[in-house]
Structure 1
Amino acid sequence: MTRIAFYAPMKSPDSPIPSGDRALARNLIAAIGAKGAQVEVVSELKLHEKAGDPARQAELHRAAKAEVTRLSQTLAGSDIALWVTYHNYYKAPDLIGPATCAALGLPYVQIESTRAKKRLSGPWADFAAAAEAACDAAAVIFYLTANDLITLERHRPAQQRLVQLPPILPTDHLPPASGCDGPMLSAGMMRAGDKLASYTILAQSLALLSGDWQLEIAGDGPARAQVAALMAPHGDRVRFLGELDHDALAAAYRRASLFVWPGVNEAFGMVYLEAQAAGLPVVAQDRPGVRDVLLPGDYPAPDDGPGALAAQITTLLSNPALRRERGAQARAMIARAHLRPAATERFWSAVTPLLEGTA
C-alpha cells in the first residue's frame, strides 16, 4: 500500500470548524486514496497568519522548524512515498513540506497554490517569500482555476509541471436530481467581509424581483444578525434554514428551483458544484474562480450590479423548461469533470512518474 503524507498549512482537514477549505481538503484525501493509497495528515500545525503581524510570523517559523525536526525523525525510514501540500499561499505558506522532503528525499507536490509577488514587500513579505520558495520546490503543482494558472505559469521553474485538477465533490455518483420547481436557494457562511458582501448583493437583487418568489438560505455564523437585517424587507419570502448537515443540505438542493449566489471573491465555491450536481441552474456573477466551476453561459459582470442578477433570476423563474434544461446540462458537466474518479485519475497520472523515478 502506498503511503502519502498530506499537509494543509491553512487549516487541517481534521479541524472541527467547517469551511470550504476543509471540505476540499477532505475531498482531495478521498480522491487520492480511492485507489487504495493510505493518505495521512502528518501535521496539525496551522500556519495561517491573516493579520500581517511579523512577530506572529516569526513565531510560526520557529514552530515550523521544530515540526520539521520532529517529522524528519518520525518519518525517517518509513515507507512514505510522496508529500502533498494543499493550499500554500502568502498568508499560509508551507514552512514544513519542502524542508522535510529535502531531509527525507521525498518527492513534493502541491495542490491549489498561488503566487503573489506583490506581497514580497509589506507586512506579509517574509511569509510571501516562503510561499514562493515552497512553490519553487514542488515537482508538480495541481491548479484548480485558470486565474491561479496565470502567475504559476509566469514564475514556473523549468522542471516543474503544472496540471489542472478541477475542484471535486467527494463522491463517485451524482445525487438525486431536483425537479427545479421549489423555492430558490442560497448557501453561504454568515461572516463579515466577502460573504456579507454577497448577501448584500443578493438582498439588493431580491428587491428588484416581482411576482410570487420564495428563497431559502442555508448557513449561519457571526454575521447572522446583519444578514437577517438585509433580508428583513422581504418578510416571509425568505426562510432561514441555519447551518445544515450534508443530508439536510442535499434535501434543500433537491427541493429548490435554482441556486443563486453572487460569489464575491470566492476561490470557486463548493456550493456551486453541489447545486449543479443536483441539477440546479445557477445565477452568479462572472468572477475569477467562480466561472471555472459553472456551466458555460452568460453570467453578468460584477459591475452590472444587482439588476443584472435580478434579470437572470426573473428569466429562470418564468421559464420552468429553461431551468430544467440548464440544470440537466450543469449536472452532466459535474458528472464528467467534478466527481472523484476524474480527480483520482488525473492525480495519479501526474505523480506516478515521481514515484517511479521517471519524472
Structure 2
Amino acid sequence: MITGAGRRVAFYAPLKSPHHPVPSGDREMARNLMAIVAAGGASVDLVSELKIYDKQGDRALQEDLRAQAKTEADRLIHTLPDMDLWVTYHNYYKAPDLIGPIVAHTRKIPYVQIESTRATSRLSGPWAGFATSAHRSCDAADVIFYLTANDLITLKRERFENQNLVHFPPFLPAKTLPSAARLTGPMLTAGMMRSGDKLASYQIIAKTLVHLTGDWSLQIAGDGPARAEVETLMAPFGTRVTFLGQLDRIQMAAAYDRASLFLWPGVNEAFGMVYLEAQGHGLPVVAQDRPGLRDVLLPGTYPTPEDGPKALAHQITGLLTDPALRASLGTAARRMISKTHLAPAATARFWSAVTPLLEATT
C-alpha cells in the first residue's frame, strides 16, 4: 500500500536542478523522481537549486562551493517548513550533497538518497575532498536507492551500519506502455552528439555499418557540438543514413514507432533512458554487453566490447532478416518494461522502502 498521503518531502539535486534551462538526462531524471514521489500522495518541494559541481578537480572551486553550501544550509535550517523526509538525487564525487545531511540532521528529518555512488579511487587526488564529502553524505542516509548492480558493489562494501540499500530500477515517466512499433522501418539510433563517450558510440556504429550488406537504412535522432564529426563518420554511407536532429517527445515517439530495431553501443552509459524508451515501444535492441546496460536490457546475449563492431553487425543482420525474431523480442521487451520500468512501479518501490522509516520517526 502506498502511504505518501499527507507527507511533505524536501527534494534536492546537487548536480542539476530539475528547473535548469538546459535539457539533460540528469534534469529529466530529477523531474521524473519528483513526479513519482508526488504520485504517492505527498507534497514535494524543491528546497534548493544550488549547483554543487566540480568537473575538473579544482580545489579552489570546491572551497568556494563549500562556502555557498554552508550559507544555503544555514538558510534552510532556519527557514525550511516542517518536512517528513529529505530526498537527494545523485550524490557522487563531482557533485556531493553538502546541504542535505546537515539540514536533515539539525532539523531531525529522515534523509535518503537516490542514485549515489562511492568512488574510493577518488579519495586521493584532485577530487579527494569532494569524494570524502560524498562518502560522508552516503553515510548519513538512512536509505540509499541504487539503480544498477554496478553501483551496489561499492555501496554494499562500504555500507554504513544498518543502512538500507534498495534496488530502484530506472523507469519511464508513464503509467502505461506507449504504442508498439511496426518493426518494418529503418534502424534507429538516438544519442547526444558530444565528444567523449557519446562520440565513441557513434564511432562504433560507423565501424559496424561497414559490415552490413543488403538493403538497410539508419535514422539518427540527436544533435550537439560534435554533429559535424558524426556526419563525417556517416558520410561514406550516403543516403542510407538520415539525420533527424533533436526531436521532442512526440517526434521521438514517432521515430520509435516506425523503426525496426534500436542501435546504440552504450559506451560507459550509466544505464540509458533511450533503451527503456525503445523497449517500451517494442524495439529489439542492439547494444554491447556493458555493466549499466545489463540492468535495463531484456535478458539475452549481447556482444562484448571486445567482440568488436563485426559482432554487432552480425546481430543486426540476424534481426533484419528475421521478422518473427524482431516481433518476439519486442513483445518480451514490452512485457519487461510494463512489469518493472514504469512510473507506478517506481512509486510503489519508493514508498514501500521509506514508509517504515517515517513510521519509526512519528
SS in 2 for 1:57: helix
Aligned-pair CA distance for 1:201: 0.3
Contact 1:24–1:168, Cα closer than 8 Å, also in 2: no
SS in 1 for 2:91: coil
Give the aligned partner of residue 13 of structure 1.
Answer: 18
Distance, in Å, in 2 between the alignment partners of 1:113 and 1:322 is 37
- Equivalenced residues, count: 357
Give the aligned partner of residue 63 of structure 2.
Answer: 58
The answer as to 2:293 corresponding to 1:290 is yes
Superposed CA deviations along residues 279-303 of structure 1, whole A, max 9, x for unmatched, are 0000000001111100000001111
Aligned-pair CA distance for 1:96: 0.6
What pairs with 1:228-307 in structure 2 (closer than 5 Å)?
228-307=231-310
Give the aligned partner of residue 161 of structure 1.
Answer: 164
Give the aligned partner of residue 3 of structure 2.
Answer: none
1:71 to 43, 63, 76: 76
Contact 2:40–2:351, Cα closer than 8 Å, also in 1: no
Give the aligned partner of residue 188 of structure 1.
Answer: 191
What pairs with 1:26-41 in structure 2 (closer than 5 Å)?
26-41=31-46
Contact 1:179–1:324, Cα closer than 8 Å, also in 2: no
Which amino acid letter does the alignment assign opposite residue 24 of structure 2? S
SS in 2 for 1:175: coil
Give the aligned partner of residue 219 of structure 2.
Answer: 216
SS in 2 for 1:50: coil
SS in 1 for 2:242: strand
Distance, in Å, in 2 between the alignment partners of 1:345 and 1:357 is 19
SS in 2 for 1:357: helix
Contact 1:186–1:215, Cα closer than 8 Å, also in 2: yes
Distance, in Å, in 2 between the alignment partners of 1:21 and 1:180 is 30
Give the aligned partner of residue 138 of structure 2.
Answer: 135
Give the aligned partner of residue 108 of structure 2.
Answer: 105
Aligned-pair CA distance for 1:358: 6.1
Which amino acid letter does the alignment assign opposite residue 213 of structure 2? S
> Please, which runs of 5 or more residues in structure 1 have no aligned partner?
none
The answer as to 2:145 corresponding to 1:147 is no
Aligned-pair CA distance for 1:79: 2.8
Distance, in Å, in 2 between the alignment partners of 1:84 and 1:91 is 18
Compare 80-89 and 23-32 and name the one that shifted more.
Answer: 23-32
SS in 1 for 2:144: strand
Distance, in Å, in 2 between the alignment partners of 1:233 and 1:41 is 48
CA RMSD of aligned residues (A): 1.0
Aligned-pair CA distance for 1:356: 1.2
Distance, in Å, in 2 between the alignment partners of 1:40 and 1:214 is 46
Which amino acid letter does the alignment assign opposite residue 157 of structure 1? F
Aligned-pair CA distance for 1:73: 1.4
Which amino acid letter does the alignment assign opposite residue 243 of structure 1? Q
Superposed CA deviations along residues 249-293 of structure 1, whole A, max 9, x for unmatched, are 011000100000000000000000000000000000000111110
Superposed CA deviations along residues 76-108 of structure 1, whole A, max 9, x for unmatched, are xx2311000000000100001000111111000
The answer as to 2:313 corresponding to 1:310 is yes
Distance, in Å, in 2 between the alignment partners of 1:256 and 1:9 is 37
Query: CA 1:358/1:74 → structure 2, altered by over 3 Å: closer, same or farther?
Result: closer
SS in 2 for 1:80: coil
1:346 to 344, 349, 352: 349
Give the aligned partner of residue 332 of structure 1.
Answer: 335
Which amino acid letter does the alignment assign opposite residue 187 of structure 1? A
Distance, in Å, in 2 between the alignment partners of 1:344 and 1:79 is 22
Distance, in Å, in 1 between the alignment partners of 2:21 and 2:228 is 23
Distance, in Å, in 1 between the alignment partners of 2:14 and 2:79 is 19
> Please, which runs of 5 or more residues in structure 2 have no aligned partner?
1-5
Distance, in Å, in 1 between the alignment partners of 2:53 and 2:276 is 26
The answer as to 2:197 corresponding to 1:197 is no
Aligned-pair CA distance for 1:35: 2.0
Aligned-pair CA distance for 1:179: 1.4
Runs of 4+ in structure 1 over 6 Å off: none
Distance, in Å, in 2 between the alignment partners of 1:283 and 1:51 is 33
Which amino acid letter does the alignment assign opposite residue 283 of structure 1? V
Superposed CA deviations along residues 178-230 of structure 1, whole A, max 9, x for unmatched, are 01111000000000000000000011101110111111111000001001101
